[in-house]
Chain A
Amino acid sequence: MRRRGLGTERVRQARTHPIVPNIRHLRIPMYKIRIARNFGRRFGMTGNEIHHLSSKASYSKPSFNQTTRQVTMDTSQYVHGDVLVSTQWVADHLGDTDSIRLVESNEDVLLYHTGHVPNAVRIDWVNDLNDQVVRDYVGHERFGALCAEKGISNDTTVVFYGDKNNWWACYAFWVFKLYGHEKCLIMNGGRSKWIAEERPLSKEVPTFEQTTYTALPQDTSIRAFRDEVLKHQEAGLPLVDVRSPAEYNGTLLHMPAYPQEGALRGGHIPGASNIPWSRAANDDATFKSRKDLEAIYLEEKGLHPDNDTIAYCRIGERSSHSWFVLTYLLGFQNVRNYDGSWTEWGNLVGVPIEK
């Protein structure tokens, strides 16, 4: 028996239920995921069928504000503004796949598949970058294999973008820097700005010729480990806690609107300043101007670009966004991301905590 897409099949069953008025009108997609369950094997789904499946996705596009595209992003204001590119720059380089690789990195595991910047590959922070057994990143050899598979060579320019103010894009950027990738860029404004500007989206998953990639052992000058953090704290050097104020104060053990994610104690590392990561982003997901960032990080919080600084959050993802801001936009000399963060510190025996 040919089966419709299985989800469709189940919804069809629900539709026949007499009390289900609100899904009666559902259009039944014509694509088919054919599964011969009775024979215990799956018939392959062709690329065209997958495309057809994807093409059924519908989007409500945010209204396009003409002024958005007219504003020229002034990256020269930042200390190392050359790591930021605009959506227009990316649009102008979509075809340069020999030298440039676009990488989408999201929190939502399905989002890339609903449509992405043409020629972008997906790298997932959990399944691609984190080791599934040891709490660590994948290791330089597996990182090299990942890059090779995505068609990224050591000299490829990798442009990261993603959902939620480029939060996960910055995390992927940091991991690429950890393994010594030289040419990393961020598309300012990320996925939401690209979509707001009604730029093209593709559901085609591009494949590129396998490369050879030699990843370096971790560059621990950008990564802080717990013993180093303790020494740093004892020496009274600057720490930045980029979590929400309630997490920082210890009244919440996790992000507001996020479920509990595992620390036995609430509070922060003594002496840390609280600068929530999202303060660095504008409403359109671009980074704030250098002037506005300096007003927050330097004037309001008293950080200084010459001081060794450690940023942390809960698992090191939000703080990689702040690490990016401090290192590249404000030119701090030595910023490390403490990826163990609160899920390590809040569980460690005997370390000092402040509420």
Chain B
Amino acid sequence: MLASLLRIAALIRKELLAILSDPRSRATIFLPPVLQCLIFGYAATYDLNDVPYAVLDQDHSVASHELLARLDGSGVFARVADLTRAADIASVIDERQALLVVQIGQDFERNLAAGRNANVQVIADGRNSNTAGTALGYVSAIVDAFNADWAAAHGAASPPLRVVTRAWYNPNLETRWNMVPALIGTLTMLQTLLLTAMSVAREREQGTFDQLLVTPFRPAEIMFGKAIPSMIIGTIQASSILLVAQFWFRIPFEGSYFTLYTGLGLFLLAAVGIGLMLSSVVATMQQAMLYSFVLLMPFTLLSGLATPLSNMPAIFQYLTLIDPLRFAIDIAQRVYLEGVGLGRLGHDLWPLAIIAAVTLTGASWMFRHGIE
């Protein structure tokens, strides 16, 4: 037992030395996660600001100016053009100068004063319908506020129904708050899986695997010796992203580190298991890399990182059950933002444990039986 542990420790030391002694591979392991986290933390946002919009104000009244002033003052919109003819709308949108055109008709103020409804037309560029939809939502909120104030100012009774909204765990509904914790899983998985899959393939390609097999190493020891270094590196990467999230983006951490790292540990075990399983079937580093990639891409797309899981048809929702990243993102977000404890994470932890158990057993079987 002790001898076995000492051998595993020697293998771990060797793996880490091999990865870390080369400055190039050291750089490819530690720099990208932090850089990507920083860039994507800023880039991956559905929140809008400075949305370019154009105005076609045919009324030029006090009321229309007031409405436009509210748009300009919101911080969300930036006026890029004042149009004079309706015919110009098309070119402004087509050429991507403005995402929205707000058109206020001639009778705007007169209608309002007369207690009639006054129309404001908003034309949005639907090429990115998601952004356009969000922008329209902002306009709608501004118009609502305008209406309320107008009504109050003109002595009308307050509307009979108020809607009070509150968002849990992310009071300002910032995309960054959910994106950055999700990156803890995503960026870590990418390299952990690849590293594990490549490490055995590299030994095969360079002939060192045979040398390892003629020593007293047992297949299971080799497996653990290969799995643990990748997990250590994965944990370091995850921790560096966690630090960026807390101290750079200042997203408050609500949960316990113990819970988060327990979840991450299981997730890394599952990712490493998949990597080992891959590595036991591939012959070359090239295959290891390309096949890892063939797995990683759907794992990322089906993880719920960019598009919500609940939007998927049932069959794809079942498919996501074999995707460890799906559970890791859920764990990271819930522990980070909601502060849930282990008790509430059962439906994430169990699947990860099962994936890890299946892949590791499979890999160790392949190691034993695939040595030809």
Say if A and B assemble together: no
